Structure 1
Amino acid sequence: MQREAAEIREEWLGWALSTLPADRPAAEAAISGLYRLIGLAPPRFHWVSSPVAALATVPPGVRLRPSETAERMSEWPLPPRFSSLMRQLCRELDAQLRWVHQPMDQLIRQKVRSSLSQSANGSLFMALRVAHDTQYHLGNSWYGTQCVSWVAHYDALRRAAGVVFTSEQTRRFDLWAAVARSCGWWWPREGVCVVSERPVAVHTEVCGDDGEVRLHHADGPAMRYADGCDVHAWHGTQVPSWVVTDPDVRRIGRETNIEVRRCAIEHIGWTSYIDQAGLRLVSSAPDPGNPGSELRLYDMRKETRVLLAVNGSVERDGHRRRYGLTVPGFFDDPIAAAGWTYGLSAEQYSLLLRRT
């Protein structure tokens, strides 16, 4: 069961991250079917090359109301109707779970649904944040309805756990599944539906025990669309392009976002960054929380210091990562600084057998 659930998860992850051209006939047929389910005639379709293009383009012949702009998407009338349609189907399918042993359902939720939800947050949703020019969490909006995780969950229940859907439930579920397999994101309005093509390149790395992935590419965009819209990411963190293409000590010094600055320094390498930036070593000491490793405390900027340490856990490639943590400038003792990052005193940190 666990292996079969993992295979289904990987199958749906493959569809979610696909860079194949959209199957436009299949997508339009499935979306038209969903329109019929809410009592509307099939829309006219307007295809675009990326989510950015989708939100920046007004389909030909459409006169938008003030409430139908991208900035007020939460007020659009159709997305809530489709989301309600999805939730109703989920409630019906959940009722079928009385035939499924509880541990079996929990396993599928963990190995399939939760894993794919985390993968979507770490990869697919980044393109939407770029399109909306914001970092707010999109998982509970209309985009959550389109997330492949719930589709894969119920697909695994019927294929791996033997849950039986009625013919009507299967018909409705297969419409959602067909959309998830055939195109990128879509934005429904009455009479017209805007649909995005898939990206032409996606670069990810595995970041979890259940196959979770996140965007990462050290040499260029982690996600790229045919129109040039791209997303740069460093180990799952969305970053400006310079962090990947031209990390520079002076740019890092001007950067106000702590996470962006951290990613840029990691790309250069903490040791190289310290050398290039000419940071002054304040003090060093053996790391009591990580025997065999050393803690090094440097001056970084006014009222800030950086603690250079070695990760207590082994990375997937077998190495221990060297990393830096910014700490208040009043620290002179690296052990006290290390303890502060854990909410401990220097004495308490010194008693740790090994940190992770």
Structure 2
Amino acid sequence: MRRYAAAEPVADVRSKSAHDRWQEAVKIRQEWLDHGLSTQPADRRTVEHSLTAIYARISRPKPRFEWVDSPYKAIPLVAGLPTLDQLYGWIRDPHPRGTPPLAGDLAMIESQLRGALSAGVSHSDPELSPVRRGKRGEPWPELPPPKALDAGVPLGVVLHQGIRTALHRSLAHGFRIPIRGTLPGGGPLPACWYGQQDAAWVAYYDALHRLGLASYGPDELEHLGHWAALVRSCGWWWPGEDVCVVVDRPEMIRTEPVPGTWHDEVRLRRGGVRYRDGWHPLLA
């Protein structure tokens, strides 16, 4: 298995048409969807190595890693960690008193990485701002990719729709949001990252690089490689100053196609996930 696909040399694309590149992109998207739905046990050594490297980027020492078999088991261990609303409070005025939480620093360097990767894209990156058409600035339509390309939709827009947006629909709306909604607590849960279900943005920038449509510097490739390793290797994780709580991947995932889509989008079936401790959330 390729460990750092994002660091592979870009392809020679001088003779490739937009349709050829799209066909390659479909294969790359499937690779990342497979990671997003993997039921293999977590690669704990790789996860701890990459999380330690990411912590080091915000000048934090290696944490102690607390592994659990399901998000349900993680909830008692992450009490007191900041919620997403609390993290947003640190970018508003006036700031809360005290030291900014570690999760906020992680979110900042992740955002900076995405900005640096977008800067290396050879076309106007829809990830930064919507790409419009015509004098009225209308959004490009979402069409089946071959028809979209034949209709003049830019390849960059088709790739963003067909990789970034499609994987987000499958892994966020189709998986992590429903599962998160079954967790106990009633109020907002602490902010976390989703490991394998964070594949959408990683896959998007990896695909652009492998298709020869983006060029990244060595530091960006190394940093992206660590986030890619987490997607390939573990489930959800909650970062704390001293302890990082990491969830193993489920032992069973069953999905079904989302009707009316053309990017192989999927969603969990009812009762379609079971974790290694037996937690079997019932979805609405």
TM-score normalized with structure 1 length: 0.57
Report the equivalent of 1:126. Answer: 178
Match of 2:81 among 68, 76, 84: 68
Matches within 5 A, 1:173-212: 173-207=224-258, 208-212=261-265
Q: Write the letter of the residue equivalent to 2:230.
A: V
Deviations 1:7-59 (A, max 9, x none): 1111111101100000000000001100000110111100000011111236x
CA–CA separation in structure 1 for the residues paired with 2:229 and 2:216: 17
Structure 1 residues 114 and 132 mapped into 2: Cα distance closer, same or farther (>3 Å)?
farther
1:224 partnered with 2:274? yes
CA–CA separation in structure 1 for the residues paired with 2:75 and 2:212: 40
Match of 2:32 among 2, 12, 22: 12
Please say if residues 49 and 225 of structure 1, whose CA atoms lie closer than 8 Å, have aligned partners that are also in contact: yes
Please say if residues 33 and 175 of structure 1, whose CA atoms lie closer than 8 Å, have aligned partners that are also in contact: yes
Matches within 5 A, 1:143-158: 143=193, 147-158=198-209
Match of 2:267 among 214, 236, 245: 214
Q: Helix, strand or coil for the counterpart of 1:228?
A: coil
Matches within 5 A, 1:1-356: 1-57=21-77, 67-68=80-81, 72=83, 74-75=85-86, 77-98=101-122, 103-120=154-171, 121-132=173-184, 142-143=192-193, 147-207=198-258, 208-217=261-270, 221-232=271-282, 238-239=283-284
Q: Helix, strand or coil for the counterpart of 1:229?
A: coil
CA–CA separation in structure 2 for the residues paired with 1:27 and 1:180: 9
Q: Write the letter of the residue equivalent to 1:81.
A: D
CA–CA separation in structure 2 for the residues paired with 1:125 and 1:223: 13
Q: Helix, strand or coil for the counterpart of 1:42?
A: coil
Q: Helix, strand or coil for the counterpart of 1:231?
A: coil
Sequence identity percentage: 35
Please say if residues 126 and 231 of structure 1, whose CA atoms lie closer than 8 Å, have aligned partners that are also in contact: no
CA–CA separation in structure 2 for the residues paired with 1:81 and 1:6: 34
Superposition deviation, residue 79 in structure 1: 1.8
Report the equivalent of 1:321. Answer: none
Superposition deviation, residue 68 in structure 1: 2.9
Please say if residues 129 and 135 of structure 1, whose CA atoms lie closer than 8 Å, have aligned partners that are also in contact: no
Superposition deviation, residue 132 in structure 1: 4.6
Structure 2: 5+ residue stretches without partners = 1-20, 88-100, 126-130, 132-153
Superposition deviation, residue 147 in structure 1: 1.9
CA–CA separation in structure 2 for the residues paired with 1:34 and 1:89: 12
Deviations 1:296-329 (A, max 9, x none): xxxxxxxxxxxxxxxxxxxxxxxxxxxxxxxxxx
CA–CA separation in structure 2 for the residues paired with 1:150 and 1:30: 17
Structure 1 residues 135 and 19 mapped into 2: Cα distance closer, same or farther (>3 Å)?
farther
Superposition deviation, residue 183 in structure 1: 0.3
Superposition deviation, residue 133 in structure 1: 5.2
Structure 1 residues 109 and 99 mapped into 2: Cα distance closer, same or farther (>3 Å)?
closer
Q: Write the letter of the residue equivalent to 2:262.
A: D
Structure 1: 5+ residue stretches without partners = 59-63, 233-237, 240-356
Superposition deviation, residue 122 in structure 1: 1.1
Structure 1 residues 114 and 90 mapped into 2: Cα distance closer, same or farther (>3 Å)?
same
Deviations 1:104-137 (A, max 9, x none): 221211110100000021123322222255698x
Aligned length: 219
Q: Write the letter of the residue equivalent to 1:113.
A: R
Q: Write the letter of the residue equivalent to 1:214.
A: R
Please say if residues 22 and 197 of structure 1, whose CA atoms lie closer than 8 Å, have aligned partners that are also in contact: yes
Superposition deviation, residue 75 in structure 1: 3.5
TM-score normalized with structure 2 length: 0.70
User: Higher strand proportion, which one?
Assistant: 1
Higher relative contact order (CA 8 A, sep 6+): 2
Q: Helix, strand or coil for the counterpart of 1:35?
A: helix
User: Which structure is larger by alpha-carbon Rg, 1 or 2?
Assistant: 1
Q: Helix, strand or coil for the counterpart of 1:130?
A: coil
